[in-house]
Structure 1
Amino acid sequence: MTRYAVFLRGVNVGGVKVLMKDLTQLLLDAGFTEVKTLLASGNVVLSVQITDPLAIQEQCNALLASHYQRPIPTLVYTVEEIQQLSAAFPLPLPQPAGEHHGYYTLCETAQDAQEIGTAIDGLENHGEYAIQGRAVAWIVRKGESTTNPIGKLMDAQAKQRIVSTRNHNTLVKVAKLLI
């Protein structure tokens, strides 16, 4: 069995709410094992015999679309990817550090992450960011994630590609569940 992290995008959109207890049961019924969720935002770890993350992603997407009668895109990350993302955040948090969050926008492909990086470069006063594989790391002051230039860009990118943003602390917790 291989462990994976699955991140859902849009767990409470369009009047359809995906409850984590229901999601857990749906995945167990589909043959996944050791299913655990974290928070109510669509963070799942699971075990499966399949070794191709893309095949798992396709299976999860089809399962969710069938059950909820609307697409709920997922991103599937390997243990190794999550370990890298949950290590020390690659950017220094501005002082006071307690007033800032480190975020990762998780992407479907490394090319998506690179293209988002190029888009960030085109923003005025965008602040620091870093590309790590299929993810883009960025920093925002607490309470400003929807008004920050990068935050606004990430919202726009979510309409064009499969991405989902998570706090670095969430990825640290997901990594602990994968062990």
Structure 2
Amino acid sequence: MTRYAAFLRGVNVGGVNLRMADVATALTGAGFTDVTTVLASGNVLLTSDSPVTAVRVAAESALRDAFGYDAWVLAYDRDALAAISAAYPFEREVDGHHSYVTFVTDADVLDELTGLSAEERVERGDGVVYWQVPKNGTLDSAIGKTMGTKRYKSSTTTRNLRTLEKVLAK
């Protein structure tokens, strides 16, 4: 059995509003065990004996069936998530800035996002884009504006580095 972190895209951040207790119930009903949510922004820890791709597909299907929305989930085993967090290339806490990790499952999208930088610091990682942007500038940044378009919904989701640390601490 493997412990996974599943990140739901667009949940409780101006998109689809879901109660995390209901999300946990739906994922448990789909056969996942030890389902725990972290914060209200679509961060779920769960256990499965399936490979990561199957976890993603099953979670998306369960959420679509339970809530009737176009669910997108990116899943990572806990060790991979810890490695992604540890590889953050910039100073983790910079006064007046947000530190982010954008998870990306499409290599072309990964290339596009890493080529966008304007005022934010951006670096490509293994299946992720690390970036740092001044506070109050996230949605106006090159990556922030681009991530809001439909093309990126199925293959990306972004988390603040502090959120990743909370997920890893569970």
TM over 0.5: yes
CA drift of 1:147 comes to: 1.2
Name the aligned partner's letter for residue 131 of structure 2: W
CA contact (8 A) 2:103 2:156 kept: yes
Whether 2:94 is the aligned partner of 1:101: answer no
- CA offsets 1:14-62 (integer angstroms, 9 cap, x no match): 9842110111111112221111111111000110111x11111111111
Flag the 1:12–1:93 CA change in 2: closer, same or farther, 3 A: closer
What TM-score do you get using the length of structure 1 for normalisation?
0.84
Name the aligned partner's letter for residue 102 of structure 2: T
From 102, 109, 117, the equivalent of 1:112 is 109
- CA offsets 1:51-98 (integer angstroms, 9 cap, x no match): x1111111111111111112111001122221112226312369xx22
CA contact (8 A) 1:126 1:150 kept: no
Distance 1:63 1:46 in 2: 14
Flag the 1:138–1:81 CA change in 2: closer, same or farther, 3 A: same
* Percentage of matched positions with identical amino acids: 36
| Superposition map of 1:1-179 within 5 A | 1-12=1-12, 16-50=16-50, 52-87=51-86, 89-92=88-91, 97-118=94-115, 120=116, 125-156=118-149, 159-161=150-152, 162-177=155-170
Number of residue pairs matched? 168
Q: Which runs of 5+ in 1 are unaligned?
A: none
Could you tell which deviates more after superposition, 164-173 or 109-118?
109-118
CA contact (8 A) 2:121 2:133 kept: no
CA contact (8 A) 1:101 1:139 kept: yes
Q: CA RMSD in A?
A: 2.1
CA drift of 1:164 comes to: 0.8
